[in-house]
């Protein structure tokens, strides 16, 4: 393995291990009563609450280690500055760093260049060993700033703003330092805290200005850089604690109890993305969001780079409850709504109300809400016993997604999913609550509809009441997705069928027919009255996949289908088989497809004998042109029979010699398909002759199609 690969592997391992092993102590230490009027959120005002969120803010980053700290840190040598210390902030606005762990880069992108945080970095050792401070964070920070930093820094350079009131800041000096980040090597006191310790009455005088301690009347914040963390994680900690000065003291998650993964400046450390969500960016006056307008096609550009987002307030929901609709195309390095690099599209964030240290944010991924099983524990991942989770059944309204903490039987009764058991009983390891391997965006390919009948459904946070709201991802051009909002949800196309599984329908002798099962849609114009359109493709190795072919249409109340056009042998051979389906409502609108993985098998294609179910019977005899054409090695024919007939379909070479009999026998009225596998035939032109006769042998129809085998 080369050096780069080793480093990447180490980073991913550290990311995974740390996220699973963190304890409650590795949370933000800023815990203040959200009902205290000094910290109340005023939804009638925008901007930074306790510090400016606009223009340029100059700050100081102080990297500190105790003189007795000789522990190994991969990104911070002992008794030296951290590696590439200057990467964490730009010294002026013209540098334009693109590094992920750069504070300047982060706030420039999140604010759309409205807020530029620049500053300086300095490394010092604390004047005394750790035991000297007896766990007193305020005493340690005060000692460092007064007796180690002051001799090397003019603190007057960091007094540029005056806070006149909450949300009101003036660009002028007031004799108080604006912002210092004190960053300790190793885990010291808290992972992060919005103050440097002490209270608003504690201060020191240096260089003609005062450094205040405490929050929200203070001059700085505290961060730890633990030995098992990495620069990107330090950036998240710095952003989170700065977020308390911008957005207030409260978090959108609880300290204890069930949590939900999301993306937020004030997110739950390892379980959230650092990307600022639309609510936060709007609160800070960095973007203007729009209320959903109905029955219009609305182009929605990448959320981070354009700052465009929409919101919907359910009239029967909580007072400040919203759905936020954001288009995440990963055009920014900070677009970590999901860790899956291919999971691009519309992400929906459900907000219960203003942040108050309870669960206030929850993503609504298109993968759906489910009832989950916890069938066992496994040591396969991380070499420790972790709960295994598997999807049990669709639970549109009260279920949970892979982004949520899932129930377990022992304390703490909820856990994040690190071990996932798929439908084939294979265990997967990952940080699935962050998005690994799963797809949760709404787009034109994976899932396009979010409505009261989809999974998840558009229910209110409290009591999961139905809402008069639906969203459709209609088209995509480049990174722009055109969406449409409906205030009459039945006007939207149907949602994607879910929980499609493959099983075997035994026919004896070790052979079986493929059997598909799924969870029925609940739209009233699909179930009943609509249909499921089932398609199949196959690959007989070595060879390419054939084109998708519609093989059946079954009523919208149906939840299974047996494909007796294929016989599977008793062994799982080298051939492959795949099915997909979509729903069609009474207005002939179609859902997106659901797909299942390839099925390894020994397969035999049977002569078709079942009518095409669910539509009006054909009006005339017809043999459609085979597809693909030209082809190699397989091509598929589809033919219509308006009445019961004796039917034959045979292949001839250009000299008139019969090469293959595909169909020969009595068939009921219907639509049929059959595949010719040309193995053993040479390249050239072939003719397919289709003949239908009545019960006494009288000719009713004859037609011929030309096809080209190109090997």
pLDDT tens-place string over residues 515-565:
999 999 999 999 988 999 999 988 766 678 888 989 888 899 999 999 888
β-pair partners for 705:
688
- The verdict on 395 and 424 lying in the same domain is yes
Q: Is residue 32 over pLDDT 80? A: no
User: For the chain, how many structural domains are there in total?
Assistant: 5
4 has a pLDDT exceeding 60: no
pLDDT for the residue 495: 97
Is 686 inside any structural domain?
yes
Residue 268: predicted pLDDT: 82
User: Are 27 and 85 in contact, with CB atoms under 8 Å apart?
Assistant: no
| CA distances from residue 31 to 195, 215, 237 in whole angstroms, order as listed | 11, 11, 15
Six-digit token pair at 113? 């260049």
User: CA quadruple 394, 400, 405, 409: dihedral positive or negative?
Assistant: negative
Q: Does residue 449 sit in the same domain as residue 519?
A: no
Residues 444 and 539 in one domain: no
Which residues 6+ apart lie within 8 Å of 584 measured at CB? 494, 526, 530, 531, 532, 533, 553, 590, 591
User: What pLDDT shows up at residue 11?
Assistant: 36
Shared domain check, 523 and 482: no
| pLDDT given for residue 98 in this prediction | 94
Under the banding of pLDDT at 50, 70 and 90, the label for residue 34 is low
- Non-local (6+) Cβ contacts of 6 within 8 A are none
Residue 214: CB atoms within 10 A of its CB come to 19
Tokens of 192: 């992060």
CATH number at residue 685: 2.60.40.2550
Same domain membership, residue 226 and residue 109: yes
- Give me the CATH number covering residue 601: 2.60.40.10
Is residue 27 in a domain?
no
- Helix/strand/coil percent split, the chain, to 5: 15, 35, 50
Q: What is the pLDDT of residues 116-157, one digit of tens each?
A: 999 999 999 999 999 999 999 999 999 999 999 999 999 999
The pLDDT-based confidence of 2 (bands split at 50, 70, 90) is very low
Is-cis flag, bond preceding 216, omega within 30?
yes
Residue-number span of the structural domain to which 576 is assigned: 497-606
Q: Is 399 within 8 Å of 367 (Cβ atoms)?
A: no
Q: Per DSSP, which regions of 108-186 are E strands?
A: 115-125, 162-165, 168-170, 180-185
pLDDT above 90 (res 402): yes
pLDDT tens-digit readout, 157-173: 999 999 999 999 999 99
pLDDT in tens, 490-499: 999 999 999 9
391 domain residue, yes or no:
yes
Q: What is the pLDDT of residue 441?
A: 97
Which of 507, 498, 489, 502 has its CA nearest to residue 532? 498
pLDDT at 395: 96
Rounded to whole angstroms, the Cα distance separating 433 from 338 reads: 9
Q: What is the chain's alpha carbon radius of gyration, rounded to the nearest angstrom?
A: 32
Last residue in a domain, options 572, 606, 640? 606
Please provide the distance, in angstroms rounded to a whole number, between the alpha carbons at the two ends of the chain. Answer: 40
The answer to whether residues 527 and 559 touch, using CB atoms and an 8 Å cutoff, is no
Q: Tell me: do 508 and 446 sit in the same domain.
A: no
Percent of the chain whose pLDDT exceeds 90: 69
Q: What is the pLDDT of residues 271-300, one digit of tens each?
A: 778 999 999 999 999 999 999 999 999 999
Residue 24 binned pLDDT confidence (cut-offs 50, 70, 90): very low
Is the pLDDT score of 398 beyond 90? yes
**CA atoms of 487 and 491, how far apart (whole Å):** 9
**Quick one: pLDDT band at residue 595, thresholds 50, 70, 90?**
confident
Does residue 105 belong to any structural domain of this protein?
yes
Count CA atoms closer than 13 A to 242's CA, side-chain side: 28
Question: Residues 590, 562: one domain?
Answer: yes
Percent above pLDDT 70 for the chain: 91
82 with 185, same domain: the answer is yes
**pLDDT higher than threshold 60 for residue 3:** no
Number of other CB atoms surrounding residue 299 within 10 Å: 13
pLDDT at 676: 86
Could you tell me if 474 and 547 lie in one domain?
no
Alpha carbon 167 to chain centroid, angstroms: 33
Average confidence (pLDDT) over 659-687: 86
pLDDT at residue number 566: 84
Q: Which residue has the tokens 């809402």?
A: 467
**pLDDT tens-digit map of 36-56:** 555 567 888 899 999 999 999
- The domain boundary, picked from 606, 631, 666, lies at 606
How confident is the model at residue 23, as a pLDDT?
Answer: 38
Q: How far apart are CA 121 and CA 88, in angstroms?
A: 8
Provide the pLDDT for residue 293. Answer: 95
Phi, psi of 589 (to 5 degrees): -85, 145
**Residues 230, 183: Cα–Cα separation, whole Å:** 13
Torsions phi, psi for 168 (to 5 deg): -125, 120
* Residue environment code for 74-93, b if the CB has 16+ CB neighbours within 10 A, otherwise e: ebbeeeeebeebbbbbbeee
Please work out, in degrees rounded to the nearest 5, the angle formed at the alpha carbon of residue 609 by the alpha carbons of 608 and 610.
Answer: 105
Confidence band, pLDDT 50/70/90 cuts, at residue 709: very high
The answer to whether residues 100 and 224 belong to one domain is yes
Q: What is the pTM of this model?
A: 0.81
Q: What is the pLDDT of residue 480?
A: 97
Task: Give the pLDDT of residue 605.
Answer: 66
Is 24 contained in some domain? no
Residues 6+ apart with CB under 8 A from 703: 621, 622, 623, 689, 690
Sign, CA torsion 210/213/215/220: positive
pLDDT-derived band at 609 (thresholds 50, 70, 90) equals very low
Domain boundary among 451, 469, 491: 491
To the nearest 10 degrees (0 to 180), the angle between helices 231-247 and 103-111 is 50
CA proximity to 119, closest of 176, 202, 182: 182
For residue 176, give the DSSP letter.
Answer: B
User: Is the same domain home to 444 and 429?
Assistant: no
Mean pLDDT (whole number) for 658-674: 85
Give residue-wise pLDDT tens across range 193-203. 999 998 878 99
Q: What number of other Cβ atoms are within 10 A of residue 377's Cβ?
A: 13
Residue 164 has what DSSP assignment?
E
pLDDT of residue 671: 80
Please report the pLDDT score of residue 542 as a whole number.
65
Query: Max CA-CA distance within the chain?
Result: 112
Give the pLDDT confidence score for residue 43 in this predicted structure: 81
Checking if the pLDDT of 479 tops 90, the result is: yes
**pLDDT value, residue 39:** 58
Q: What residues form DSSP beta bridges with 163?
A: 169
- Is there a domain that residue 23 lies in? no
Could you count the other beta carbons within 10 Å of the beta carbon of residue 122? Answer: 15
Whether the link from the prior residue into 616 is cis, omega within 30° of 0, is: no
pLDDT of 673 reads 78
Question: Does a structural domain hold residue 20?
Answer: no
Report residue 621's pLDDT band, with 50, 70 and 90 as the boundaries.
very high
Residues in contact with 113: Cβ distance below 8 Å, sequence separation at least 6, in sequence order: none
639/596 same-domain check = no
Looking at residue 564, its pLDDT comes to 84
Backbone torsions φ then ψ of 20, nearest 5 degrees: -85, -25
pLDDT tens digits for range 337-374: 999 999 999 999 999 999 999 999 999 999 999 999 99
With a cut of 90, say whether residue 569 has pLDDT above it: no
Classify residue 260: in a domain, yes or no.
no
């Amino acid at each position: 393995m080369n050096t780069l690969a080793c480093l990447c592997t180490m980073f991913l391992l550290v990311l995974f291990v740390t996220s699973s092993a963190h304890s409650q102590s590795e949370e933000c230490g800023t815990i203040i009563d959200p009902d205290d009027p000094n910290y109340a959120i005023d939804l009638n005002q925008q901007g930074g609450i306790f510090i400016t969120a606009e223009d340029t803010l100059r700050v100081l980053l102080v990297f500190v280690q105790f003189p007795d700290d000789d522990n190994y840190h991969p990104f911070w040598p002992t008794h030296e500055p951290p590696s590439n210390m200057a990467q964490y902030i730009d010294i002026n606005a013209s540098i334009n760093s693109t590094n992920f762990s750069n504070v300047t880069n982060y706030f420039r992108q999140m604010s759309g260049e409205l807020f530029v945080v620049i500053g300086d970095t300095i490394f010092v050792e604390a004047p005394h060993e750790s035991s000297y401070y007896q766990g007193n964070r305020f005493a340690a920070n005060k000692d460092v700033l007064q007796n180690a930093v002051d001799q090397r820094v003019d603190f007057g350079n960091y007094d540029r703003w005056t806070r006149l009131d909450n949300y009101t800041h003036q660009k002028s000096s007031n004799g108080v330092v604006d912002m210092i980040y004190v960053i300790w090597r190793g885990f010291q006191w808290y992972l992060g805290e919005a103050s440097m310790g002490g209270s608003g009455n504690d201060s020191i005088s240096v260089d003609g200005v005062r450094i205040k301690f405490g929050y929200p009347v203070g001059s700085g914040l505290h961060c730890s850089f633990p030995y098992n963390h990495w620069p990107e994680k330090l950036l998240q900690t710095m952003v989170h604690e700065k977020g308390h000065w911008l957005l207030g003291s409260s978090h959108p998650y609880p300290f204890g109890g069930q949590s939900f993964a999301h993306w937020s400046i004030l997110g739950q450390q390892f379980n959230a993305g650092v990307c600022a969500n639309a609510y936060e960016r709007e609160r800070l006056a960095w973007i203007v969001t729009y209320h959903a307008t109905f029955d219009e096609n609305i182009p929605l550009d990448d959320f981070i780079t354009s700052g465009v987002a929409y919101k919907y307030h359910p009239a029967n929901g909580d007072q400040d409850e919203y759905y936020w609709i954001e288009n995440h195309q990963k055009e920014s390095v900070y677009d970590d709504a999901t860790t899956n690099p291919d999971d691009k599209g519309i992400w929906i964030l459900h907000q219960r109300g203003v942040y108050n240290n309870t669960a206030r944010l929850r993503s609504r991924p298109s993968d759906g809400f489910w009832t989950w099983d916890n069938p066992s524990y496994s040591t396969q991942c991380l070499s420790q016993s972790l709960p295994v989770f598997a999807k049990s059944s669709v639970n549109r309204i009260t279920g949970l997604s892979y982004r949520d903490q899932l129930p377990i039987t022992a304390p703490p009764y909820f856990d994040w999913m690190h071990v996932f058991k798929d439908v084939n009983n294979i265990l997967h390891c990952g940080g699935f609550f962050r998005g690994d391997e799963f797809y949760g965006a709404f787009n034109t390919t994976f899932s396009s509809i979010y409505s009261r009948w989809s999974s998840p459904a558009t229910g209110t946070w409290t009591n999961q009441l139905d809402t008069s709201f639906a969203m459709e991802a209609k088209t995509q051009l480049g990174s722009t997705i055109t969406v449409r909002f409906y205030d009459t949800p039945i006007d939207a196309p149907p949602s994607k069928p879910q929980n499609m599984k493959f099983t075997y329908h035994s026919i004896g002798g070790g052979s079986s027919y493929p059997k598909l099962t799924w969870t029925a849609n609940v739209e009233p114009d699909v179930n009943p009255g609509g249909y499921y359109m089932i398609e199949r493709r196959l690959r007989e190795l070595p060879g390419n996949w054939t084109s998708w072919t519609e093989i059946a249409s079954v009523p919208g109340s149906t939840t299974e289908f047996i494909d007796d056009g294929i016989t599977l042998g008793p062994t799982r051979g080298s051939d492959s088989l795949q099915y997909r389906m979509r729903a069609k409502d009474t207005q002939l609108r179609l859902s997106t497809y659901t797909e299942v993985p390839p099925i390894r098998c020994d397969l035999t294609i049977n002569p078709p004998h079942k009518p095409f179910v669910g539509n009006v019977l054909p009006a005339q005899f017809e043999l459609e042109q085979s597809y693909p054409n030209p082809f190699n090695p397989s091509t598929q024919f589809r033919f219509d029979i308006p009445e019961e007939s004796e039917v034959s379909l045979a292949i001839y070479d250009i000299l008139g010699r019969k090469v293959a009999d595909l169909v020969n026998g009595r068939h009921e009225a219907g639509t049929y398909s059959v595949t010719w596998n040309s193995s053993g035939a040479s390249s050239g032109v072939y003719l397919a002759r289709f003949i239908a006769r009545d019960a006494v042998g009288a000719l009713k129809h004859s037609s011929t199609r030309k096809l080209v085998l190109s090997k």
